[in-house]
A and B are shown apart, each in its own frame.
Chain A
Amino acid sequence: MKVLVALKRVADPDNANKVKISPQGDAVDTTGLEWKTNPFDEYALEAALRLTENGKTPKKREGEVVVVTLAPKEGETMLRAALATGADRAIRVEANDADLDGRLVAHALKALVAAEKPDLVLLGKQAVDGDSNQVGQRLAELLDWPMATFAATIKEETGALLVGREVDGGVATLRVTLPAVVTVDLRIVAPTSVFSKLSQAEAGFKHNEGVRFAPLPAIMAAKKKPLEVKALAELVGDKQSTTKYLKFERPPQRSGGAKVKDVAELVEKLANVSKVI
């Protein structure tokens, strides 16, 4: 199986409360925050690696994993990290976040899919900076492919995937015929969430919890793996972003911090001061 995985670099999500707004209020300033791979995209990459390996020989790729990002040159650090964990090739589309929106990214990915002809496109369900949650769905429609969003489990069948989706109030299971688009949720990196045909053939096989880390030799070897750069216009022609941010602001801070000494005081305050019980 050939899998295309879309990655986005985001400002360190564990320090999202340190994001600043420019004095004019017209831009988000992430100076001082480290760039990280969007966590959901990391999970998508992990799922792609699991789908293209035999549990017995995890170093050997049964198929191909191609990672792609739309980013300036510095985004190549993230692509090299992905290559080190097992991806075979990388593509960077030269672009700046400020010039992109979900619609434009989906058009660019559509053009890449036309060139690469993967069996599956895997993405995170959303990027944790814009929190937009739209690229996977849009890409699937542009391709007229089936999709499964918010995937918590993926099991490979012949020419299809059985996908468990986390939806409000439970789990919805879809069978999508390949080629397809799948966007992944948190639980996709649990030990028994993803099975390729080869790995599920082994009874009791389990993956390690979470995403894999690259050993040093793999990090060195990743420097030699192919990384191709494309211009955005090659993929989207003269299309432009149609989302325009007028201003940004911080939400009002809550004035919390008060303590109560025991449950009696707590219940008394809830009943008589806040009047919520």
Chain B
Amino acid sequence: MSDALVIAELSEDGSVKKATLSAITFAKRALPALGGSFSILILGANSKTAAAELAGYGAAKVLTCEDASFAKYTAENFTPTVAEVGKAFGLIVATATTFGKDLLPRVAARLDAAYAGDCSAVTSEGGKLVYKRPMFAGNVFGYCTLGTPIQVATARQSEFEAAAVSGGASPVESVAKAAPSGAASRVEFVSLEAVKSERPELTEASIIVSGGRALKEKFFEVLEPLASALGAALGASRAAVDAGYAPGDFQVGQTGKIVAPKLYFAIGISGAIQHIAGMKGSKVIVAINKDPEAPIFQLADYGLVADLFTAVPALIAELKKRA
């Protein structure tokens, strides 16, 4: 029997990022194979708000490690403490955000543990955890087991719904910061340039409006009004980002963000394999493209062959008629 440890991800202001709740769901699904309970570990400069937020999800314990140095995340500084606490657990899990994907493999290496990244499911087979992972840009699912006493995994946020508050109050315990590593003294956090947006986060939005290279310099001019009319997040294809029409963190795809909203608009996007890998889990897909042969149409529930520069304004007008 062993337990699971969820690594919480905090915002700059010390509040819990919603992504953390997907890792809790992952941990809960792993418990039948582990046979134990799950706890949550919070590293932060001030962990009180986060601990209070996370005490209602049914964790055996909420462990907190407060240190001024944790105000700015670096993997080098977080790893020794996460590994020190984590070595008492059978499974260490975080959500596969850039935080989770940066930190957890490093933690795994410190514990010489095997790692299953970006898992889309976790099940139990013969008392062992089986991790389902998208591979080859989502064209293959692999099912693997890890053969080390401690196992480390990250959960694909779009495949694990946010855990719901289950009531109760988990006991909160503080833990000591582990001795720093040599690497931590040789990395300096310089800055975080956050992209400010009034819109929902791409990975949490229920509607996404994504644009491709066809939008050219009119990317925002054309798509913003549509996103506003729908309360949607804005995304982009790699081609649009590479061309400089949209910022890097808009990118949806194998190597960008993986999204699964209830409604996804692909506008002026042809449907390259690596883009499809990032959005094909969407419930309903709409494609607007003037090329009737664009591969995106094979995937779309509703395809509209039209020039986007006239179709998008018309679509906005039609939506407003209904509002």
State the A residues within 8 Å of B (CB): 11, 13-17, 19, 21, 28, 40, 101-103, 106, 125-126, 128-135, 137-142, 144-150, 152, 162, 165-177, 180, 185-187, 242-251, 254, 256-260, 262-264, 266-267, 269-271, 274, 276-277
Contact = CB atoms under 8 A, between A and B. Distances in A.
B182 A131 contact: no
B87 to A, nearest CB: 14
B297 A13 contact: no
- For B187, B189, B249, B303, the residue with the greatest tally of chain A CB atoms inside 10 Å of its CB is B187
B105 A137 contact: yes
- For B106, B254, B299, the residue with the greatest tally of chain A CB atoms inside 10 Å of its CB is B106
Given A169-B249, A187-B248, A251 B147 contact: no
8 contacts: A137-B105, A147-B76, A148-B187, A166-B249, A168-B201, A249-B141, A258-B301, A276-B284
A106 B182 CA distance: 19
B179 interface: no
Contact of B136 (A19, A141, A269): A19
A262 B75 contact: no
Given A186-B255, A258-B302, A267-B318, A168 B203 contact: yes
B228 interface: no
Contacts of B309: none
A263 B112 contact: no
Interface in B224-247: 230, 238, 241-242
Contact of A276 (B193, B242, B262): B262
A173 B105 contact: no
Given A129-B135, A270-B263, A270-B302, A13 B142 contact: no
B303 A260 contact: yes
Contact of A269 (B79, B141, B191, B302): B302
B302 A266 contact: yes
A164 to B, nearest CB: 9
B283 A131 contact: no
A126 B108 contact: no
B249 A176 contact: no
Given A256-B299, A257-B297, A131 B136 contact: yes
Contacts of B297: 256-257, 259
Contacts of A21: 140
A135 B106 CA distance: 9
Contact of A246 (B130, B136, B182): B130
Given A13-B274, A103-B114, A129-B135, A146 B145 contact: no
A183 to B, nearest CB: 9
A58 B189 CA distance: 32
Interface string B54-66: 0000000000000
B134 interface: yes
B311 interface: yes
Interface residues of B, number: 92
Interface in B71-111: 74-76, 79, 97-99, 101-103, 105-110
Contact of A140 (B183, B304, B322): B183
Contact of B105 (A17, A138, A166): A138
A247 B143 contact: yes
A8 to B, nearest CB: 13
Interface stretch (B23-31, B42-50, B115-123, B170-178): B115-123
B52 interface: no
A144 B184 CA distance: 9
A270 B314 CA distance: 15
A137 B189 CA distance: 17
A244 B147 contact: yes
B144 A259 contact: no
B290 interface: no
A263 B315 contact: yes
Nearest to B80: A141
B300 A257 contact: yes
A16 B115 contact: no
A263 B318 CA distance: 7
Given A103-B108, A246-B130, 13 more contacts: A17-B137, A141-B107, A168-B249, A169-B194, A169-B249, A173-B190, A176-B187, A186-B242, A186-B248, A187-B242, A247-B142, A250-B139, A251-B141
Contacts of B110: 141
B319 A16 contact: no
A145 B194 CA distance: 26
Nearest to A146: B187
B133 A131 contact: yes
B255 A246 contact: no
Contacts of A266: 286, 302, 304, 315, 318
A168 B98 contact: yes
A129 B136 contact: yes
Interface string B136-177: 111111111111100000000000000000000000000000
Contacts of B74: 174
